[in-house]
Chains A and B, each alone.
Chain A
Amino acid sequence: MRLELGSFPVRDARFGTRTRWADGVLEIDRAAVLAAVRRDPLVSTVELEIARPGESVRIWPVRDVVEPRVKAQGPGVVYPGWFGRSIETVGRGRTHRLAGLGVPEVSSVNWHDAGGDFVDQYIDMSGPWAALIPQSRLVNVCCVVEPEPALAVQTKNEVVHRATLTVADQLAAVVRDLTPPDVEVFELPPAAASLPGVVYIQCVHSPQAMSHSEHTFCTGTYGLTRLAPPWLLHPNEILDGALSGPYRTMFATSWAVVNNPVLLELYRRHGRSLRFLGVIVFRTEWTTQDEKDLMAEQAGKLAAMLGAQGAVVTWDAGGNEFIEVVHAVRACERLGIKTVFLTSEDSAEGGAPSMLKPVPEADAIVTTGFFNTSLLELGRVPPVERVIGYRRKSAGDAVDATIAGGEAVETAGAIAPPWRYDDHYGFNRLSTFAH
């Protein structure tokens, strides 16, 4: 499977008379793009707004950030499977991308009605929070969209993400037939048998058990987010968006998954320091002990059948999902596969372990720090001049407190950072110290 990935760098975007890319500037025919979104009769309102790095802008709230990509050659469509998009296997031919551009998905629609799970991630384009998240460095063309209010929440999720993909499709389409200034070839030719075979086990949260949603939000595999036994994907499929979707942390949005530095680094080392064998996508949040253990065992078995001598394990969630994840590490190690685990830590306050269940086999761990931002002592994030999206905080813990007190939270003001900071894939280079 060979994929050429052509990059068209974007250093600025502006609205104009027609959509086109030239010399790093993306001109956008706003009316035409909005008309394409409005072809969906379930869209109530939609607007496009541009945010540039360094501006005093806050994008609130952000459900996803999509990097515009398009198939220039080869089968299938990018971000396949979502809401009727082709499920044909992707990863072959040539894909063009708008590098440095993001399409944030901005809407008041919450993930589900089951409670306890709110969309309250946001992007600041400048300031201390901007310095901590990679999407602040993108030129962001925001899709601010609301579905018809009478729809059920699952349908609303569908409408909102479909609208975002439509915007991304419209923008990427203008570079489909152009010659990219930069092309990188991704394929896994046979490599020296003396190099260690390495598999990447990418654990992705499934919202099914707690939200009853099997396909409307969260990182989907060809659009499916339901609990399923581990998938085996070629990394090229992931580069074409076969693993994508809205999610509750900036570090697991569609943009983050197609630009995942763990995936890209394993790929670039193929044939040099290792043999990259493929990606086992391991759905998490199984809800019985046996299911958790079964899936962990099967992930290890798959890795062994692929001939892995090494494995890298990441995950994108927290809480009880740690069990199947760390048991997958254990399963690999017991099969003789040296396994490195990349994870954030829980608070070790009160003498609790900083991992839910330490297992002795997990003996090579790279920490990405505490994900609970209150422990990072970031302080409040300063006010901004302009908010794209919603000026009042409409969901989450703080809104419960403040609206009950008769007070609205202005999202333009000084506010707390999002409560999660979980750099699952190592985008940043924050230092750490022991004390």
Chain B
Amino acid sequence: MISAIYDLALTTGASRVVRGCRIEHVCGNPTLGAEKDHAYGLTIIRTALGALTAAVTGPTLFDPTESPPETVHAS
């Protein structure tokens, strides 16, 4: 699950939670401009796909801004 309010998603027991940007734009950040927004969105989606293959033992947070290969700061 990709969620801007990831803490709530973890509380409800979702096993794999990806930190999204904001409630208004969960999978991107239009204030970054088109190119960086696209890259940031891709990072979120790749993190989500990676999370699908990760073994977890309970609700686990995956933070796209901490994962290689590229780091894009949301603000």
Contact = CB atoms under 8 A, between A and B. Distances in A.
A and B are partners in one complex rather than unrelated chains: yes
Interface of A: 209-210, 287-289, 292-293, 320, 323, 356-357
A357 B22 contact: no
14 contacts: A209-B23, A287-B4, A287-B22, A287-B23, A288-B21, A289-B4, A289-B6, A289-B7, A292-B5, A293-B7, A320-B5, A320-B8, A320-B23, A357-B11
B24 interface: yes
A103 to B, nearest CB: 34
A288 B22 CA distance: 5
Residue in A289, A320, A356, A357 with the greatest tally of chain B CB atoms within 10 Å: A289
A394 B21 CA distance: 35
Interface string B5-25: 111100100000001011110
Contacts of B21: 288
Nearest to B11: A357
Interface of B: 4-8, 11, 19, 21-24
B24 A210 contact: yes
A272 to B, nearest CB: 40
8 smallest CB-CB distances across A and B, nearest first, come from A287-B23, A287-B22, A289-B7, A357-B11, A288-B22, A289-B5, A357-B8, A289-B6
Contacts of B7: 289, 293, 323, 357
Contact of A323 (B5, B19, B22, B24): B5
Contacts of A209: 22-24
A320 B19 CA distance: 16
Contacts of A320: 5, 8, 23
Given A287-B22, A287-B23, A287-B24, 15 more contacts: A209-B23, A209-B24, A210-B24, A287-B4, A288-B22, A288-B23, A289-B4, A289-B6, A289-B7, A289-B19, A292-B5, A320-B5, A323-B8, A356-B8, A357-B7
A255 B34 CA distance: 46
A210 B6 CA distance: 19
Contacts of B11: 357
Nearest to B25: A287
